[in-house]
A and B are shown apart, each in its own frame.
Chain A
Amino acid sequence: DIVMTQSPDSLAVSLGERATINCKSSQSVFDSSNNKNYLAWYQRKPGQTPKLVIYWASTRESGVPDRFSGSGSGTDFTLTISSLQAEDVAVYYCQQYYSTPLTFGGGTKVEIK
């Protein structure tokens, strides 16, 4: 199984400042045959189901604000919120879909400082 490790567990960022979340996979999730990284990011607020934010490591889901961006390749990935807004307070998860079982990171809680 591919183990996904996120860091930090939580972070507090001032409104308008940058938030950076890291995700590391235990093995590469890059497929050289199509040049794609099989990595997604989700936002989850209390009492809600996960909301897809990023897929293919860097493709923003329709309707997601452009302050959200994903980067990285192979085993190391980053989700960046360029200018944190109050509505971005949530837990963020990475998920690999390179191989089954599909696996998630443990989550990063983003709060306002």
Chain B
Amino acid sequence: EVQLVESGGGLVQPGRSLRLSCTASGFTFGDYAMSWFRQAPGKGLEWVGFIKTRTYGGTTEYAASVNGRFTISRDDSKSIAYLQMNSLKTEDTAMYYCTRDGRFFSFWGQGTMVTVSS
């Protein structure tokens, strides 16, 4: 059974950093791209970015709203995807979800909440 479990969320001050983890199980992690989404309170789902597999160079793409501040990485040996979030803004407050794949998404984690506030 495919499982994705996010962790690392919490309350953080504006300008600080936070790293989210997505621990995967039930599939060969290294064979799949991994993506991150977020949903701010009262707003719709927003794509944050994805990381391709090592076969495809492990390349990443990001939404314009986070480009240059957020970095997605992966550790295939541990089956974990990471979302490093720097220079956080209040508008980054959201539930963050990881998903398997990079196009359409059958598997979602339950999310981890990030609140950016002073």
Contacts and interface: CB of A to CB of B under 8 A. Distances in A.
A106 interface: yes
Contacts of A55: 103-104
Interface residues of B, number: 17
B32 interface: no
A64 to B, nearest CB: 11
Nearest to B111: A49
Contacts, number: 39
B109 A49 contact: yes
Q: Decide if the interface of chain B is mainly helix, strand, loop or mixed.
A: loop
Contact of B63 (A42, A101, A104): A101
B103 A38 contact: yes
B45 A93 contact: yes
B65 to A, nearest CB: 9
Contacts of A97: 102-104
B61 interface: yes
Give me the 4 closest cross-chain CB pairs, A-B, nearest first: A49-B108, A40-B104, A97-B103, A102-B47
Interface of A: 38, 40, 42, 49-50, 52, 55, 61, 93, 95, 97, 100-104, 106-107
Interface of B: 35, 44-45, 47, 61, 63-64, 97, 102-106, 108-111
13 contacts: A40-B103, A42-B105, A49-B97, A49-B110, A49-B111, A55-B104, A93-B44, A102-B35, A102-B47, A104-B44, A104-B45, A106-B44, A107-B44
